[in-house]
Amino acid sequence: MFDLFEKRFVINTGKGGVGKTTISAAVALAAARRGKRVLLMDMSAKERFSRIFGSKPLSVEPLEVEENLFAVRITPDEALEEYAIMKLRLKTLYKAVFENRFIRTFLRVIPGLNELTLLGKAWHEEQARDPMTGRPVWDMIVIDAPATGHGVFFLQIPDVICSMITSGPMYQEARQIGDLVHDPRRTALNLITLVEEMPVNETIELKQRLDDALKVPLGFVVANAIYPPLFDAHADLMEKLDAAGPVEGDLGRMLDAALFRRKRVELQRTYLDRIDAEIDLPQIHIPYYFTERFDFMTISKIADQIDRQASAVVRDSA
């Protein structure tokens, strides 16, 4: 039985612009509304959550943007600094080492280091316990993953490290991060896609690669921005008018627009069928929202959709 809201580590991935940030915000909001204490982590270059939640700009300090919902934005440099200070214990030592121009340049070229420090930071938050009660500080951590290649490369890094070094503190940490990333009880990786030809093809490919190599527990395929059907009740009428020959004036243009929309809906249906046929995962369908500003109201509606559809999956599998 797959219950998204029982996971502690929810990662949302997908190609650029498919809705990772939007869906991450909505998943976090839905969980917070269920009373979970949620940390929403922005690891992308441009920070959108503060606009969505109407808060101050985010920083490395968790900010409560809604009841139970905290958001942070962390860059690789900040994560590395935090980690290094934790390890070296002394800020002055950190400054001496990491603010050295040559060392910085050297660090920048280590492949995967940025992603590893970000993932390490997320793991650290997952491990955090309240000193008084011993309870986890966060019930759920939602990650808006950076768009590196397919956006999942960074999840492989702990395994890569463990295959290169086989003992010592670095190994231990990489091992524990890897354990979290592979743990189906705690982790779910959602695949976000638009319902268009290229994004759907790439999501199918990504799923295959994940099955073959990465072995990260998967959650939902989130099919985002689906056009709701319009004038379905008048489909016959539309066809008859269209078949009767050109319709003049505004009525003709309206008919064209309606037919165009219908074709788009049909086309999206074929891509949804492809997802059905090729990706063996539960789905969440999010409509396209025609709004001037993509604000909290819209995220709130998407959160409701996610909550309802995720609950249905739990019910159906029970």
Residues that bind Mg ion (CB under 5 A): 20-21, 44
The residue range among 1-9, 107-115, 244-252, 281-289 that interacts with ligand ATP, by the rule CB under 6 A, is: 281-289
171 touches ligand ATP (CB under 6 A): no
Asked whether position 225 contacts ligand ATP by CB under 6 A, the answer is: yes
Name every residue whose Cβ is closer than 8 Å to that of residue 118 and which is 6 or more positions away in sequence. Answer: 43, 74, 76, 79, 146, 154
User: Which one of residues 5, 8, 10, 20 is an interface residue with ligand ATP (CB under 6 A)?
Assistant: 20
Segment near ligand ATP (CB under 6 A), from 16-24, 58-66, 118-126, 172-180?
16-24
Among 1, 16, 169, 244, interactor with ligand ATP by CB under 6 A = 16
d(CA 202, CA 278): 12
Contact range with ligand ATP by CB under 6 A, out of 17-25, 87-95, 205-213, 309-317? 17-25
Cα–Cα dist 207/317, whole Å: 22
Q: CA torsion sign, 41 to 47 to 50 to 52? A: negative
Q: Which residue, 45 or 318, is less far from ligand ATP as judged by CB?
A: 45
Q: Considering the complex, what minimum distance in angstroms separates the CB of residue 45 from ligand ATP?
A: 8
Residue nearest to Mg ion (CB): 21
18 forms part of the interface with ligand ATP (CB under 6 A):
yes
Which member of 13, 44, 190, 203 binds ligand ATP (CB under 6 A)? 44
Site size toward ligand ATP, by CB under 6 A: 17
Q: 287-306: which residues touch ligand ATP (CB under 6 A)? A: 288-289, 294
Question: Between residues 139 and 193, which has the closer beta carbon with respect to Mg ion?
Answer: 193
Q: What is the amino acid identity at position 75?
A: T
In the bound state with Mg ion, the residue whose beta carbon lies nearer, of 13 and 21, is 21
In the complex with ligand ATP, the residue whose CB is nearer, 29 or 161, is 29
Q: Write each residue from 48 to 67 as x if it is in contact with ligand ATP (CB under 6 A), else as -, in one continuous string.
A: x-------------------
Please report, as residue ranges, which positions from 146 to 165 form the binding site for ligand ATP (by CB under 6 A). Answer: 147
Q: How many CB atoms lie within 10 A of CB 106?
A: 11
The amino acid at 203: T
| Interface residues toward ligand ATP, by CB under 6 A | 14, 16-22, 44, 48, 147, 224-225, 286, 288-289, 294
